[in-house]
Every structure is written in C-alpha cells, then in structure tokens.
Amino acid sequence: KDATAPNFISVDDDGGDNSYKSGESLSIIADLGETGLTVTADLSVINSGLSATAAMTDNADGTYSIRVADVDNGGNMIEGAAIAVPMVATDGAGNQQADNSLTLNLDKTAPAGYTVSVDQSSINTANQAAMSFTFASAEVGATYNYSISSNGGGTAVTGNGTISTASDQISGIDVSGLGDGTLTLSVTLTDQVGNEGAATTDNVTKVTASLAFNSTASNGDESVANASIQVDLSINSAFDVSVDYVVSGTANGAGNDYTLANGTLIIPSGNQSGAIDITGIVDDELIEGDETIILTLSNPTNASLGSTTEFTYTINDNDEAEISVLAASQAEEDDVNGLYTISTSKQFANDVTLTFTISGTATEGTDIESLGTSVIFPASTNSINIPVVVIADTEVEEDETVILTLESTDNTAVLIGDDNSAIVTIIDNDEKLPQTITFEPITAKKLSDREVVLEATGGDSGEPITYTISTDPVNGVATLSNGVILLEGVGTVTVTASQAGNDSYLAAEDVSQSFTILSDELLLPTLFTPNNDRINDVLLIRGGAAVQSVSFRIYNRKGNLVFESDSFQELTEIGWDGKKNGVNQPAGTYVWVISGTMTNGEPIRVNGANRGTILIAR
C-alpha cells in the first residue's frame, strides 16, 4: 500500500514579483515532481468571490498551474502585504500534502493625501544648481517621480526615487537649464504594486538671468552713420528685463559727432537680446583722431549684471594728413643759423606730437645746440620752424651736416610723407695750420752698435711721429720696431719720418735720413727654437764681414757631428734647422767650432771666438 504523500518542491507566481494590484492577472505554478495528482488552491484568500478549492491544471511535467485573470475581479480583492495562498496535493492513494509557502502583496489603493513644497523662497544664481523640495504625508516605500518646468522655457528637469520617511527631502536638483520665470514642481507617488497617486504641485519664481554686452568693443569708419550695440541675456526669461545705460567717451554726443543720450534698454520676455543704437555719426573733414563712445550698464530689473558691463565703440577718423620737412636755410660758422620748416597737408583739431632723429657729421652740444627728439605741431597750424643754432669754434674742420628725419606722430591720421628728411650744411670758416718735422741726420753705424733709437720732433698738432725704413740690400740689413732700428747686416738704411694732420693742422711734409751699417764682426745667437713657428726657427751667422774661407761644425754633447758647412752664404742665408739627416735633434746644449780667414788675412771669429755653445729649446 502507498503511504507516501506528495511533496511540494517549489511554489511561485510564475516569475512575478509577488505584488499585485487591481486589474493584474496572477499565475500560480507548483512543482511536485510527479503527475496524476489532484492539486487545489484556496483563491478565496485573494478574492472573496473566488473558490477556496480551485483545481490546478496538471501540466504533465510534474508541475500544476492555475491563472486568475484579474485579482480584483468584481472588486472583491482582499488587500494585504503578506497573504499566504493555501494549496493541497492528493495522490491516487489518498495521501495529501498541504503548502502555504506562496505569499502575495495585494494592494489596490493608490497613495493619497501627500503634498510637496519647494524649500527655497525663490531660485537665483546662487541656489539654482541645488534646488530642493520636501514631502508631507508621503507613503513609505512608494516611488516618487518629479518634473520641474518653467514658463520661461528650457527642458524640464525630472527625477525619481523611493520614499524612506513620510517627510523626505529631495535635494541637489540643478535647474540652471530652465529659463527664468515661474517654475512648477509636479510630483506623483507610486506604491510598491504600481498604484499611482494623483500629482501634487508647488511653484517658485526663478530669476537668474544676467545681462551684458556680447563683446567689449567694436569700431567703424566715420562714414558709417549708425552702429547697433548688442546686449545679451544669459538665459531665456519669462519676464521683461530692463537696464539703464550711461553714455561717455571722447566723442561729443550732442550731434557734433553722433546722437545718443543716457537711457534704458528693455528686452521683452521671450527675447534673449536687445540693442542700443548709436545714430547720426557725423562724417566731417577735420583731422581729429579716433574718438570713443563708451556705454555703461547699471540698475537692471529681473536680471543681474554680467561680467561685461562697459562697451567702447570707436569712431575711426577717415581723414589723413601728410607731414613733410625741408631745409629752409643753410648755416655757416660762426653766426649764421640754419632752419627747418615742417609742413602739413591738412590742419589738425588737436596738437600733434612729432618725433624725429638727428644724424649727420655735426655733433649736438659741440657743433650745434641740441634739437631734441620731438616737437609739438599746434592745432589749426599749417607749418612750424625748427632753427639749427650753430656753436662757434676755431677748429679747422670739414663742412658738417645736420640731417633731420621725421619718424612718427601720435595721431594715426597724421602720416609721415615722402619728404621726410632734410639736410642743413654748416660751412666751416676756419683754416688748418702747417707743421714741420725736425729730423737730424744719422751717422754711419757698426753692427756692434746693435740698434739706433730714432728721434724726430714734429709740429703742434700733437699727432705722433711715425717711421718707415727701406734697406739696400733689401733683406738682412735692419728691421724697425717701435721707433728703434735693429742692426742685422751691412748695407744702407733710409728712414722716413711722418706726422699726420688733424682738424686744426695740415699733415707735415715727410723728412728722410739715410745711414750706412759698416762691416764689423760676425755674430751667432746663443739660443734658437726650431719649432716651425717661423720665429727663430733657423740658426744663422749674422753680421757684416769679408770672408775668404770658412769651416763651421756643430757637435752634440757626446762629440758627434750634427751639422757642417763650408759655405759662408749657406751659413748666413740658409743656416741649420736643428735636424740631422731630417731628424729633429733633442733640446739641449751643442758646441760649435769655426775656422777660416778673412780677406785681410786675419783668422775668422764669431762672437769674437772660434768656438762656443748654442742651446736648442723646443
């Protein structure tokens, strides 16, 4: 005999959320894992008009189901937050199993009696990004949905959430995108089963618009009769907005330059900009420079002032004048001054400052009085004069020039013309004085005299005496250094003394003196530096003497021969380069030996001896 009762594996509302309201259908599915059972559900706990033993359909897969088309059929739904639905399963042997695991939330009453109020008395620029509102008598657990709109336009701001207390505050709402005007807050509550309550509303005024010029400046030619200056609202407004403006600037608004007086601009509701019109701009012939019309906003209504409350309109003067300069008269030492005349092609309404540069060969403060760097060209004037005042002197000099070049003006309508430069010449009336060089003859010298110090005196110019020399033969006789002639060999030396002139003196006539260097003895240095710097690179016998025969040898400290020559010409013109067979000899002391005879039969000597030492330094 079967004594095992059926087993409810699971019971649910077919994937629903267990919450139902009037008009919704309900499906119940019970999984018992076997077929052929009789399963009933007590639907009277849901709706008093339904059966307490409603039969569930065997789905032939171990599950049983039943469907209620409207849980509030006939208006008889029984409301409750956790209503258990009893079910009984009976098998063929009469074994039964009861189940109460399915609980439902049944509610057909929408939230009611709740209200909302905006927390701010008005919305402005300071709080428009953080508007808030507060509930009263809200149903806890319900979902709220709000919408905030403005009769000033803009996309409505919406939001939603869940009520946690009956007096919840909803904060941090950004309504900056809504136009100024009356904001309407509309809120509904929807309970957990979807019953939506009636909308509740509240209103608040929003005034956040700011007004400002849409730029800081513009300009137009004097020939343009009218100009319109735009003032913008930052956001649409449902209100008329007004603002006062004050007119100032360098232009005259009494009809002389334009027509506009202080006034009030009104921007009608629904418009986001307005304009202040400047009319009657006068196109005159006067060179007066650019002039300004300055508009300043103040005292707004239904808006605040933005960042750009001042606008400058510039009337560009369309007249131009050209400035030119000429040298009206030249100058002469000592008492004839020069004169520049500066002219304009049109007169000015105001003084104009001209800048100029002074160049040329004359020096301000020495040759002429200072001319400065600028001059005021008065209004209503065609030309002005600038004198060139000469400073007298006794200095003999070339005629000097003063060049005045116009550079710029402080009025953009006053231009520098092509004739922008003029030259005044100062004619010098002084003559240069002569001067004479005194240069005594130079007696013959011997090589042993080594050098001749040149001594000549010149005129009163104070310029130095300079010297040049020539020799015969050309090479190996003498050299000149800092007014001293160094004697090197036998021959003739010609010295020329010169003295340059200056502003007061003529150059002196050159004076030349000649002398001979007589034969004396042969000389050899005690050191030479063969390092290829072209200075003292070669060891040469110097001096003047008549040689009949010669034999010259150089030995190192070991007594080895490193150089030899029997040619007096080679010894005086080519010499020894410090090498043996093309190889540099080391630095140090070497011994030289010389033998031979002079043409007078006397033995040859170098440095008064027939042997000596030479030092190589590298």
Long-range contacts of 548-552 (CB under 8 A, 24+ apart): 548/596, 548/597, 548/598, 548/599, 549/596, 549/597, 549/604, 550/594, 550/595, 550/596, 550/604, 551/594, 551/595, 551/596, 552/592, 552/593, 552/594
Concatenate the DSSP letters of all residues of 464-510 into one string: PEEEEEEEESSSSSEEEETTEEEE-SSEEEEEEEEE---SSBPPPPP
Structural domains of the chain in order of their starting residue, each with its CATH number: 10-106 (2.60.40), 115-206 (2.60.40.10), 210-316 (2.60.40.2030), 321-424 (2.60.40.2030), 438-518 (2.60.40.10), 522-616 (2.60.40)
Assigned token pair, 289: 């420079």
pLDDT at 277: 94
> Count H helices, E strands: the chain?
1, 54
- 3-state SS string for 197-237: CCCEEEEEEECCCEEEECCCEEEEECCCCCEEEEEEECCCE
At residue 440, the 3 state secondary structure works out as: coil
Sequence-distant (≥ 6) Cβ neighbours of residue 602 within 8 angstroms: none
Could you identify the residue written with the tokens 């100009």? 227
> Taking Cα atoms as reference points, which of 62, 11, 12, 3 lies closest to residue 36?
62
Tell me the one-letter amino acid at 63: T
For the chain, residues with pLDDT lower than 70 are 1, 396, 430, 447-448, 519-520, 543-546
pLDDT at 255: 78
pLDDT at 360: 94
Let me know: does 409 contact 350? Beta carbons within 8 Å.
no
Measured between alpha carbons, how far is residue 170 from residues 37, 136, 137 in Å? 54, 12, 14
Cα Rg of the chain (Å, integer): 61
pLDDT at 545: 67
